[in-house]
Amino acid sequence: MKAAVYYETGSPDVFRYEDVADPTCGAGMVLVEVRAISIEGGDTLNRAGGMMAGRPHIVGYQCAGIVREVGDGVEGRAVGQAVVVVMQHGSHAALVSVPAMATWVLPDGLDLTLGACVPIPFGTADDCLFEFGRLQKGEVALIHAGAGGVGIAAIQLAKRAGATVLATASSDERLERLKPLGLDHGINYRRDDWVAVAREKSGGGGANVIVDSVGGKTLAGSIEAAAYRGRISYVGSAGRDVFRADWDALRPGNKSVSGVFLGAELVLNHARVHPMIAGHLADLAAGALRVIVDRTYPLAEAAAAHAYIESRQAFGRVVLVP
């Protein structure tokens, strides 16, 4: 099969488009012919300097396609089904073999490209807001990186839960595009003192729940912007700075920070998380949620797709097509 591989981590130009051995379908597994690959933030971070399973390495957490083979002991999956899958690595390829429990059958009529973009961003956003953030109707939610995959998902989920939704982005134009998704107040972090604006737009008290995928200095600002007993869901370090927040700043306001990693929940709390994500897929198919795809690239152009994401121009998802 064809795959986008690399032999060393680094900039996007480490990618090579090569023939590699087809994966095998063992017991409890399904073999999927990949039709669409949603590039996740963790994919770019891993390519830049993460762990490699071998050489060559195939990166990637999430994709959608058609089941081509079903392993022994698998129930509820059949050849020909359209599914979306998550994995530790390997999505940037024409074929993937994954445990059947890490797949979701797509609702009838749901486009594979859209379905490929759901489990990780929407599952992560849901956990950040509700499982760990404990967001309640009438509270204020602040979403960092509102124009990213998790941000766009979180804005929609927070709004339909009855929250007042604030989000940060790098331009007024991007913030305007978020308003139809449920954004109440946009904050241009490049121009404004976003902490001050967040406190102002929340009525002076601060945000009850903050989804922080940036980390570093932004996480320090999130602590300041949080309300009394505010909850911060720290879900990533997209900012890539090494600034360390002052944890003592949490104590006067009885604030809390929870680290959030969907992958652990999928393994340890599968019975909760799997149906939650299935619900988001159903809502997407019914038109109750939206996925925004910024651009698609051929898999052979994985380097260009990763470079585009790292340019911070993307609004929504960037998808590879084998």
Place of tokens 């995928």: 213
How far is the CA of 100 from the CAs of 30, 109, 272, in angstroms? Answer: 6, 21, 16
Q: Is there a contact between 30 and 98 (Cβ–Cβ < 8 Å)?
A: yes
Residue 238 DSSP class: T
Distance CA 63, CA 83 (A): 9
What is the fold of 120-263? Answer: Rossmann fold (3.40.50)
How far is the CA of 154 from the CAs of 89, 176, 234, in angstroms? Answer: 24, 16, 13
Domain locations in the chain? 2-117+291-321, 120-263
pLDDT in tens, the chain (322 residues): 999 999 999 999 999 999 999 999 999 999 999 999 999 999 999 999 999 999 999 999 999 999 999 999 999 999 999 999 999 999 999 999 999 999 999 999 999 999 999 999 999 999 999 999 999 999 999 999 999 999 999 999 999 999 999 999 999 999 999 999 999 999 999 999 999 999 999 999 999 999 999 999 999 999 999 999 999 999 988 766 777 888 999 999 999 999 999 999 999 999 999 999 999 999 999 999 999 999 999 999 999 999 999 998 999 999 999 9
> What pTM, to 2 d.p., does this model score?
0.96
Closest CA to 157 of 315, 279, 42: 279
Residue 237 φ/ψ, nearest 5 degrees = -125, 55
Report the relative pairing of strands 29-38 and 317-321 from DSSP bridges.
antiparallel
User: Under CATH, domain 2-117+291-321 is a member of which superfamily?
Assistant: Medium-chain alcohol dehydrogenases, catalytic domain (3.90.180.10)
**Would you tell me how many other CB atoms lie within 10 Å of the CB of residue 124?**
26
User: What pLDDT shows up at residue 134?
Assistant: 98
**Which letter, b or e, does each residue of 179-218 get, where b requires 16 or more Cβ atoms within 10 Å of its Cβ?**
eebbbbbbbbbeeeebbebbbebbeeebbbbbbbbbbbeb
